[in-house]
Amino acid sequence: MRKQPTSLWGLAGRRLLHNRMAWLGLAIVAAMVVCSLFAPWLAPYSPRTQNLDAVERMPSLAHIMGSDSLGRDIFSRMIYGARTSLVVLLVVVVSSVSIGLAAGAAAAYFGGWVDTLVMRTVDVLFAFPGTLFALFVSATIKQGVLEWMKQNGLTDVARSGIADYVVVFGALSLIGWGGLARLVRGQVLSLRERDFVLAAQAIGVPNRLIILRHLLPNALTPVIVAVSLSMGGIILSEATLSFLGLGIQPPNASWGSVIYETYSFWRTKPFLMFGPGLTLAAVVLGFNWLGDAMSDALNPRR
């Protein structure tokens, strides 16, 4: 008779495999990743090529989602926009998790002024709505980043739109690490008095190794759940910044900027906006469904 898995990860994997919403969310996320990786082969047109003979075309076989005011194919721009969203998602998740883990673990383990400094900084971040604070940071640093690039001979880099990516990375990472730091702090506070930590301290294991090898691995489960639940919000925040002109801007493709380009037609040609809007909504829902399934699967009370 086949032996059933008894570990937390084994049981979580079984619950995840039997969750239909997890499979649906995974399918949507997988489709986004495929579009990102194979965009040059999947997009029927170049996302930057303008065709003034095909301006504001309605959805058809030639243009599945129609064309914008410059004759660019909306479907092609959405495919390349998936690549932008995925890059932003990966960079923001890695940076937020790294800062959150380091700050939260240090605050809980060392306590004292370290804990006070970290937690008061997190309180300041939480005093502002996340999206509003990201807009404030983007509007504040964007011009400074552009000027720094021009002063250091990076004018061509600035014109290519790299500054837009830097601003989005910085703004979303800044608002993303606070919640993770608070979560990790709570987990480490409950772990630092355990016998295995006290034993490591007694034999002289350095604090750095105690945090890296004993505390953080045992605090990762809630972090994984929190990150999986926040991914859809990160994509939506990037689209919001781009829609308001403070994120990734044309000619680079971003879902937020594509929606902004078609927004002016919502009264006369609403079908031009339906495709990009529904795509963004579906991807955010896919990440949320996958995050909810991860939360249920990794819930120790189950």
Q: How far apart are alpha carbons 136 and 50 in whole angstroms?
A: 33
Whether residue 21 is contained in a domain is answered as no
Whether residue 256 is contained in a domain is answered as yes
Whether residue 108 is contained in a domain is answered as yes
What amino acid occupies position 171?
A: A
Chain mean pLDDT for the chain = 82
Q: Write the pLDDT tens digit of every residue in 220-258.
A: 878 888 888 888 889 999 999 888 888 888 888 889 988
pLDDT at 220: 80
Q: How many domains does the chain have?
A: 1
pLDDT at 94: 92
Q: Write the pLDDT tens digit of every residue in 177-190.
A: 888 888 888 888 88
Whether residue 7 is contained in a domain is answered as no
Among 254, 253, 255, smallest CA distance to 46 is for 253
Q: How far apart are alpha carbons 31 and 259 in whole angstroms?
A: 20
Q: Look up residue 95 and give its two tokens.
A: 């940076």
Whether residue 206 is contained in a domain is answered as yes
Whether residue 158 is contained in a domain is answered as yes
Q: Look up residue 232 and give its two tokens.
A: 């859809």
| pLDDT mean over 188-216 | 79
Q: Look up residue 292 and give its two tokens.
A: 């909810």
Whether residue 193 is contained in a domain is answered as yes
Among 201, 229, 235, 233, smallest CA distance to 215 is for 201
290 band by pLDDT with thresholds 50, 70 and 90? confident
Whether residue 112 is contained in a domain is answered as yes
pLDDT at 31: 92
Give the domain extent around 263. 36-50+61-289
- CATH number, domain of 177, equals 1.10.3720.10
Q: Write the pLDDT tens digit of every residue in 51-101.
A: 877 787 888 888 888 888 888 888 999 999 999 999 999 999 999 999 998
